[in-house]
Structure 1
Amino acid sequence: MKRIGILSLRGGAGATTVTANLAQALVQVQKNVLVVDAVDANLLRLHLGLPISSVEGWASHMCANTDWQSAGFESPNGVTFLPFGQLPLHNARQFEANRGPYLAEILEALGRFEVGDNQDHWQLIHLGSSDLALLEDEAFGYFFDTVLVVLTPDAACYSVLQDVFETQAVFNDAPVSAKVRYVLNQYQPETEISRDFMLVMKRELGAEMSPVLLHRDIALMDSVANLTTVQQFAPTSQAAKDYQSLAFWCVSQLSAIQCVS
C-alpha cells in the first residue's frame, strides 16, 4: 500500500483539485485508489461525483462513534472516496478539539485494509494547512509514504513558504521532512511573474520539487462544475496530460522509496 498526504500552504492553492485529479490519474494507470477528505470545507466531493446536496461523511460518524465506513462512496469513474461531510456547529467543535486522534484512528484503520493486489493499493489523504503541525509528530508522520505540498507560483504563496520554513519544524527537524515533496500548481508560462516564481521556487526547493508543472487550465474549472475530474471531462486537455505525468512521477518516486527501504 502507498499513502500520500496532500495539502496546501494557503487556501486557493489547489490541494483539493490536485487530490481529486491525481486520484483519477492513478486509477487510469490501474491502481486501486481510496481518497479521504480530511478538510471541513467538504469540497472534494464535487470533483468525484457526489451531488452538492450530499452532507454525509466520515467525520460525523467519528464524532458519534458510529460506523464511519458507511460514509464510503465510489465515484462513477472508479475512485473509492470517504467524504468529510458537513458537521453541525457542536460537532465541528468536537471534531477540531480531537482532530489529531480522529485522523490517527482512521489512518490506522485504513492501513489494515487490503483492496485487491496490495501493491497496487493507494490512499490519498486530503489534509488541511493546519495539519502541518500534526506532521511534526513522528507518530503521525509515520502514516505517510510521502506528503505533497501544493504551491502556486506567486508572491503570496512564496511569502507563506518562507514563513513556514522559519516557523514549522516539519520542514527542518521532524522525521517526516524527508518525505515532503512540492508540486507547483496553476502555472502560467505565458506570464513573466509565473515563470519567475517558478524558477525561484525550483532553485530554492531543488530536488524536493516535482518536475511536473500543473498548468492553469480552464478545463479544470469546467470539470468540477460538471462534478467530475478533468480526465473525464476533457481527456485531451493540458491539465489531463499534466495529471497523467504527475501520477507516473508519484509511482516512480514511491517505487524508488520502497526499493531503498
Structure 2
Amino acid sequence: MKRIGILSLRGGAGATTVTANLAQAFVHMQKNVLAVDAVPANLLRLHLGLPLSSVAGWAGHMCANTDWQSAGFESPHGVTFLPFGQLSSQNARQFEANRSHYLAEIIGALGRVDLGDNQDHWQLIHLASSDLMRLEDDALASLFDVVLVVLTPDAASYSVLQDVADIQATINRAAVTAKVRYVLNQYQPETEISRDFMLVMKNELGADLSPVLLHRDIALMDSVANLTTVQSFAPTSQAAKDYQSLAFWCVSQLSALQLVS
C-alpha cells in the first residue's frame, strides 16, 4: 500500500482539485484508489460525484465513536472515497481540538483494513494547510510515504513560501524531511509573471519540485461544475494529460524513496 498526503501551501492553491484528479489518474493506471477528505470544507466530494444533499462523513463518526466505514462512497468512475462530512458546531470544535489524534486514528485504521488481495492499493489523504506544521510530529509523518505540497506560480505563494522558512527548518529535523515534494499548479506559460515565478521556485526548491507542471485549464472548472474529474469530463484536455503525468511521476518518486530507505 502507498499513502500520499496532499495539502495546499496556502488557501486556493488547489489541493482539493489535485487530490481528486490524481486519484482518478491512478485509477486509469489500474490501481485501487481510496481518497480521504480531511478538510472541514468538505469540498472533495464535488469532484467525485457525491450528491450535494449528502452531509455524512467519517469525521462525524469519529466524534461520535461510531462506524466510520459506513461513510464510504464509490465515485461513478472507480475512486473509493471517504468524505469529511458536515459537523455540528460542537463537533467541529471537538474535532479541531483533537485534529492530530483523529488524523492518526483514521489513517491508522485504514492501514489495518484487510485488503485481501494482491492489487496495487493507493491512499490519497487531502490535508489542511495547517497540517504542514503537524507533520513535525514524527509519529504522524511516518504514516505517509510522500507529502505533496501544492503551490501556484505567483506572488502570494512565493510570499508564503518565504514565511514558512521556520516551519521548514522544523520539518527538516523530522521524519517527513525526505518525503515532502512540491507541485506547481495553475501554471500559465502564456504569461510572463507565471513563467518567472515558475523559474524562481524551480531554482529555490530544486529536485523537491515536481517537473510536472499542472496547467491552468478551463476544463477543470467545467468538470467540477459537473461533479466529476477532468479525466472523465474532458479526457483529451491539457489538464487530463498533466494529471496522468503527475501520477507516473508519483510512482517513480515512491520507488526512489523506497530505495533510499
TM-score, normalized by length of structure 1?
Answer: 0.97
Match of 1:80 in 2: 80
Match of 2:32 in 1: 32
Task: Tell me the alpha carbon deviations over residues 157-204 of structure 1, each in whole angstroms, 9 at most, x when there is no partner.
Answer: 000011112344454322202100000000000000000000000000
Alignment of 1:58-73 (within 5 A): 58-73=58-73
Match of 1:136 in 2: 136
Task: Tell me the alpha carbon deviations over residues 121-173 of structure 1, each in whole angstroms, 9 at most, x when there is no partner.
Answer: 00000000111121000010000000000010000000001111234445432
Shift of 1:54: 1.2
Q: Secondary structure at the match of 2:185?
A: strand
Structure 2 unaligned spans of 5+:
none
| Residue type of the alignment partner of 1:41 | A
Alignment of 1:66-215 (within 5 A): 66-115=66-115, 117-118=117-118, 120-215=120-215
| Residue type of the alignment partner of 2:181 | R
Match of 1:18 in 2: 18
Q: Secondary structure at the match of 2:56?
A: coil
- Greater mean alpha carbon deviation, residues 113-122 or residues 134-143: 113-122
Task: Tell me the alpha carbon deviations over residues 211-249 of structure 1, each in whole angstroms, 9 at most, x when there is no partner.
Answer: 000000000000000000000000000000000000000
Shift of 1:92: 0.3
Match of 1:225 in 2: 225
Q: Percent same amino acid at aligned positions? A: 84
State whether residues 186 and 215 of structure 2, in contact with CA within 8 Å, keep that contact through their aligned partners in structure 1. Answer: yes
Q: Secondary structure at the match of 1:214?
A: coil
State whether residues 145 and 254 of structure 1, in contact with CA within 8 Å, keep that contact through their aligned partners in structure 2. Answer: yes
- Greater mean alpha carbon deviation, residues 109-118 or residues 48-57: 109-118
For 2:227 and 2:194, the matched residues in 1 are separated by 29
Alignment: residue pair count? 261
| Residue type of the alignment partner of 1:92 | A
| Residue type of the alignment partner of 2:219 | A
Shift of 1:112: 1.6
Structure 1 unaligned spans of 5+:
none
Cα separation, partners in 2 of 1:127 and 1:170, compared to 1, 3 Å: farther
- Greater mean alpha carbon deviation, residues 95-104 or residues 172-181: 172-181
State whether residues 50 and 227 of structure 1, in contact with CA within 8 Å, keep that contact through their aligned partners in structure 2. Answer: yes
The answer to whether 1:3 aligns with 2:7 is no
| Residue type of the alignment partner of 2:120 | D
State whether residues 170 and 177 of structure 1, in contact with CA within 8 Å, keep that contact through their aligned partners in structure 2. Answer: no
For 1:214 and 1:54, the matched residues in 2 are separated by 30
